[in-house]
């Protein structure tokens, strides 16, 4: 990826954010040193955007990676790396949630979005409000306990990828990009890290986009764990405002 420019999107805050980022949510989290080495490799490959949250437990490792990358001369300063985070349940208090949302949602919102959950209604709303949409689970959380093969094993995406000489992941990420959104893609494999960035040398045609619009839609992350008879959301319909 040396010398290859990753496009940026201009946020309402005035900051420029790379449209492809490295997701850092992990299962069975390894040591900070191990994670930092992975993130340094990502920086070396060309990533300048990392997505995290306090609940991921990866913030310190990202900090170590940035410091190591500066020491190795891969980047000159912290300013070269864009880091996104998000409010979590600990901010869900009356005195905390509004300030937390004001610092994040006015610039962009991060939601599950991919060819098998296209979020057309939400994207249109955000477009009207000037809110940038960033996609997590852009590859359908493939081989993650709550995900599925709805994206990576989809025959339509397989056909398009074969025709263009690209991977299914590249087609899915390119689809997100052509919707005007940014995407988070997670991998610890150097070659796949490169592939996930290498989506700017081809385009999906109108015919491709029309075919992808026919992909069966279903949410991968259902959110069952947040339902409670004693809580504010007792059903999935209540949790997702009817958009299940």
* Residue-level pLDDT at 231: 72
Helix (H, G, I), strand (E, B) or coil at 202: coil
Ranges of residues in the chain whose predicted pLDDT is under 70? 1-4, 89-90, 92, 100-108, 142-147, 221-227, 236, 239-244
In the set 56, 142, 177, 221, the catalytic residue is: 56
Longest dimension (CA), the chain: 54
Domains and CATH numbers, the chain: 8-216 (3.20.20.100)
**pLDDT score for 34:** 96
User: For the chain, where are the E strands, in sequence order?
Assistant: 8-10, 16-18, 20-23, 49-51, 82-84, 108-112, 132-136, 182-185
What would the two tokens of residue 116 be? Answer: 């098998």
Q: Which pLDDT belongs to residue 189? A: 94
Structure confidence at residue 214 (pLDDT) = 96
Q: Does 56 qualify as catalytic in the annotation?
A: yes
The confidence score (pLDDT) of residue 222 equals: 66
E strands, 142-201, are: 182-185
Give the pTM: 0.82
Residue % of the chain over a pLDDT of 90: 60
Alpha-helix residue ranges (DSSP H) falling in 46-141: 59-72, 94-102, 120-129
Q: What is the pLDDT of residue 219?
A: 82
């Amino acid at each position: 990826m040396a010398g290859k420019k990753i496009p940026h999107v201009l946020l309402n805050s005035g900051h420029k954010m790379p449209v492809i980022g490295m997701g850092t949510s992990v299962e069975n989290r390894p040591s900070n040193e191990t994670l930092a080495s992975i993130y340094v490799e990502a920086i070396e490959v060309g990533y300048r955007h990392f997505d995290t949250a306090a609940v991921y437990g990866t913030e310190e490792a990202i900090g170590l990676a940035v410091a190591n990358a500066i020491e190795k001369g891969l980047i000159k300063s912290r300013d070269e790396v864009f880091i996104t985070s998000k409010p979590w349940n600990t901010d869900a208090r009356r005195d905390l949630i509004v300030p937390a949302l004001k610092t994040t949602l006015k610039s962009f919102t991060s939601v599950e979005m991919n060819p098998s959950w296209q979020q057309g209604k939400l994207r249109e709303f955000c477009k009207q409000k000037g809110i940038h949409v960033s996609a997590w689970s852009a590859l359908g959380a493939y081989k993650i306990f709550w995900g599925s093969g709805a994206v990576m094993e989809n025959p339509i995406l397989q056909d398009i990828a074969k025709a263009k000489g690209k991977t299914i992941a590249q087609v899915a990420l390119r689809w997100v990009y052509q919707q005007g959104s940014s995407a988070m893609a997670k991998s610890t494999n150097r070659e796949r890290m490169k592939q996930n960035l290498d989506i700017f040398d081809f385009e999906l045609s109108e015919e491709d986009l029309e075919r992808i619009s026919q992909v069966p839609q279903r949410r991968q992350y259902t959110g069952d764990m947040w339902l409670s008879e004693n809580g504010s959301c007792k059903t999935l319909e209540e949790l997702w405002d009817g958009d299940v």
